[in-house]
Every structure is written in structure tokens, then in C-alpha cells.
């Protein structure tokens, strides 16, 4: 029995080597491997993923919009990034999806709870939670927010924006709805506003950090920005919401830059703060952006 297993291992290794050699005949594949600074052994292990990236990028070249998208996730491209000598593959929105997201965010700034479509049964549990939260919310009491995760375009941000806008309008609650990857980018580009923005994010009555986990993770962004915001809000019992395409466990893995005990502890610390601040709910529904 062990002999068969050993033969299978050798066969798989040979197949992997042949696939890699064949892929190296493609100059785009070689260029991608070089840009990621991969040695041949590492590149060989992820040949299929690297080829998938190249295939998805080729689909984008002549694409006229998300209605033409041929990729695994509509409007998204599989992108490899290197962090602390490890390669991570992440689905990032294409230029057309980014335009849709921006338009969606503009609409979300205006949406109210009366605008929510209650016909989608997959959203009912979230809507019921929101109704209860709205009725019971008291600015003087500690109210846990929501970590709402689920599929692309399922309406996570739309629903929570409706709740927050309603609270702002009817209960005079100060709110801040921010697209987290954009927060990090804007702070880097205009560091003079860092202090002001951080104060706002730490002390506003209710904060929604939208699409957490979609950002490029750095020690500074994780520890100095996100960690500081969450620690302060936790200490001051400030209500905080999150949306993400990642489960909390997946987010923890994403936040761990390097596979060592120190980095894992830092990622776990962020996750514990999120758990302290929120309830965890999932929303899997049709992609409304289509």
C-alpha cells in the first residue's frame, strides 16, 4: 500500500514539473514569476494559480464592462501579491467594478430603511436584526455592532448604510461610513490629515468600516491605523460595524503578514477586538451589482 502512495507522489511531482516547464514557454508567465521574485521551486507549486491570473488579465484586455466578464468572480481579477516572502492571491475589483462601487457608495449615502427590498428572503435575518437594533439603540448604552460578511454584491453595505442613515436622521447619531481600503490610501497620500481622520474614526458615535480585508495589508495599516481605531472604540464602548467578503477566520489569516508567532498574535489581537465590538452574521445572496 505505501508503494502505491509513493508512486502516486512521484507521478504528481512529474506532472507538476511538466506543467511548470510548459508554462515557462510563455513569456508573460516568466515575467510574472520574475516580478514576484519567485524561485523555480516556489513558482512550480503555484503554476496553476499564476496561469489563472494571466488568463483573467487577458480576459480584461478587450472587456467593455462587467456584463462581458469571463472571470471567476464577475468584475474581479485574481491578483498575486507578495507579503513577507509569501504569495497571496486576492480577487480585486476591475476598473468597471470600481466605477460601479463608487456609484453604489454614492447611493448608499442617501439610502434609508424604507428603501430596503424585503422580498429577498436571504436578507430577512439581517433586516430583523437591524430593526431590533434601531428600536433598542440608545446612545448612552453599549450597543454591539455587526460583522457582516458574505458574497460579492449581496447588499451588505447597502443594508447597514440604510440603518446608519436612519439613526443619523431620526436619533441625531453621528455616523461615519468609510471604505477601508480607501481610508488607508487617502491617509498615505495626505498624511497631514492623519490625526484629524483618526480622531473622527475613533470617536464618532457609530463607525462602519466597509470591505475590511480588501486592503493591501501592511504592519502600519493593521497595527497603527486599524488596531488603534478598534482599541479606542472598544475602550469607549463605541458602536462599530464591518462589512467583508471574508469570514472572521479568513480575515485573521489575511491580517497575518508572515507565518510566525509574533505576526499571528498581532492578527489575533485585531480579531479579538472585532469580536468584542460586534455580532457575527453571514449574508449570501445574488450579486445585485450585476
Query: What global pTM score does this model have?
Result: 0.64
Average pLDDT taken over every residue of the chain: 85
Whether residues 272 and 202 fall in one domain: yes
pLDDT in tens, 25-78: 999 999 999 999 888 888 898 899 999 999 999 999 889 888 889 888 778 888
pLDDT in tens, 177-206: 988 888 887 777 677 778 888 899 999 999
Q: Is there a domain that residue 235 lies in?
A: yes
Whether residues 78 and 205 fall in one domain: no
pLDDT band for position 244 (50/70/90)?
A: very high
State the Cα–Cα distance between residues 201 and 222, nearest whole angstrom: 15
Whether residues 79 and 127 fall in one domain: no
State the Cα–Cα distance between residues 145 and 162, nearest whole angstrom: 14
Whether residues 140 and 64 fall in one domain: no
Q: Last residue of some domain: 67, 95, 123?
A: 95
* Domain interval for residue 232: 109-283
Q: Is there a domain that residue 103 lies in?
A: no
Whether residues 172 and 138 fall in one domain: yes
pLDDT band for position 4 (50/70/90)?
A: very low
Q: Is there a domain that residue 266 lies in?
A: yes
Whether residues 60 and 164 fall in one domain: no
Q: Last residue of some domain: 95, 130, 165?
A: 95
Q: Is there a domain that residue 223 lies in?
A: yes
The rounded radius of gyration (Å) of the Cα atoms in the chain is 22
The answer to whether residue 220 scores a pLDDT higher than 70 is: yes
Q: Which residue has the cell 480579531?
A: 271
Percent pLDDT > 70 in the chain is 89
Whether residues 91 and 117 fall in one domain: no
Whether residues 238 and 147 fall in one domain: yes
pLDDT in tens, 102-129: 666 665 567 888 888 888 888 899 999 9
Domain count, the chain: 2
C-alpha neighbours within 13 Å on the C-beta side of residue 68: 10
State the Cα–Cα distance between residues 77 and 52, nearest whole angstrom: 10
Whether residues 91 and 136 fall in one domain: no
- Residue 9: what pLDDT? 56
CATH number at residue 201: 3.40.50.300
Whether residues 91 and 118 fall in one domain: no
- Residue 85: what pLDDT? 72
Q: Is there a domain that residue 7 lies in?
A: yes
The answer to whether residue 1 scores a pLDDT higher than 50 is: no
Q: Last residue of some domain: 43, 67, 95?
A: 95
Amino acid at each position: 500500500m505505501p508503494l502505491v502512495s509513493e508512486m502516486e507522489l512521484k507521478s504528481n511531482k512529474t506532472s507538476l514539473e511538466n506543467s511548470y516547464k510548459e508554462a515557462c514557454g510563455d513569456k508573460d508567465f516568466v515575467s510574472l514569476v520574475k516580478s514576484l521574485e519567485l524561485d523555480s521551486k516556489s513558482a512550480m507549486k503555484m503554476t496553476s494559480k499564476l496561469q489563472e491570473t494571466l488568463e483573467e488579465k487577458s480576459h480584461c484586455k478587450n472587456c467593455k464592462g462587467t456584463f462581458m466578464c469571463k472571470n471567476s468572480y464577475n468584475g474581479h481579477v485574481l491578483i498575486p501579491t507578495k507579503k513577507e516572502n509569501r504569495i497571496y492571491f486576492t480577487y480585486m475589483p476591475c476598473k468597471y467594478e470600481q466605477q460601479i462601487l463608487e456609484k453604489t457608495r454614492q447611493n448608499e449615502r442617501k439610502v434609508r430603511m424604507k428603501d430596503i427590498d424585503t422580498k429577498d428572503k436571504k436578507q430577512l435575518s439581517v433586516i430583523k436584526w437591524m430593526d431590533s437594533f434601531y428600536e433598542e439603540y440608545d446612545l448612552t448604552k453599549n450597543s454591539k455592532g455587526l460583522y457582516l460578511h458574505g458574497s460579492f454584491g449581496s447588499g451588505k453595505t447597502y443594508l447597514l448604510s440604510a440603518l446608519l442613515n436612519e439613526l443619523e436622521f431620526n436619533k441625531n447619531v453621528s455616523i461615519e461610513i468609510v471604505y477601508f481600503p480607501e481610508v488607508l490610501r487617502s491617509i498615505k497620500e495626505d498624511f497631514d490629515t492623519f490625526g484629524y481622520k483618526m480622531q473622527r474614526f475613533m470617536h464618532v458615535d457609530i463607525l462602519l468600516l466597509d470591505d475590511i480585508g480588501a486592503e493591501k495589508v501592511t504592519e502600519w495599516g493593521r497595527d497603527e491605523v486599524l488596531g488603534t481605531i478598534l482599541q479606542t472604540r472598544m475602550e469607549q464602548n463605541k458602536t462599530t460595524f464591518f462589512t467583508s467578503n471574508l469570514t472572521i477566520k479568513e480575515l485573521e489569516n489575511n491580517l497575518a503578514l508572515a507565518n510566525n508567532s509574533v505576526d499571528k498574535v498581532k492578527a489575533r489581537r485585531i480579531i479579538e477586538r472585532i469580536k468584542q465590538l460586534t455580532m457575527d452574521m453571514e449574508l449570501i445572496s445574488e450579486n445585485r451589482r450585476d
